Amino acid sequence: MKELYEIGIVFRGFILVNCEFKKIEKKDNLSNVSLDLRGGFISAITLFAKNAFNNLSLEYLESGKILFIFKALEMQAANCNLKEPVVLYGLVDKKKKDTDKFVRKFLEKIDPILTLFVTRYSNKDLTELNQFEPFQNEIKKFILN
Tens of pLDDT along the chain (145 residues) come to 668 999 999 999 999 999 999 887 766 555 566 777 888 888 888 888 888 887 667 888 888 888 999 999 999 999 899 999 999 999 998 876 788 888 998 899 899 999 999 999 999 999 888 999 999 999 999 888 7
Return the CATH number at 51: 3.30.450.70
Cα 126 from Cα 77, distance rounded (Å): 6
- Other Cβ atoms less than 10 A from the Cβ of 60: the count is 19
Structural domain includes residue 27: no
Ramachandran angles phi, psi of 120, nearest 5°: -75, -35
- Other Cβ atoms less than 10 A from the Cβ of 120: the count is 14
Structural domain includes residue 129: yes
Strand locations in the chain (E): 4-11, 14-20, 60-63, 66-75, 84-93
Per the structure, the count of domains in the chain is 1
Predicted TM-score (pTM) of the model is 0.87
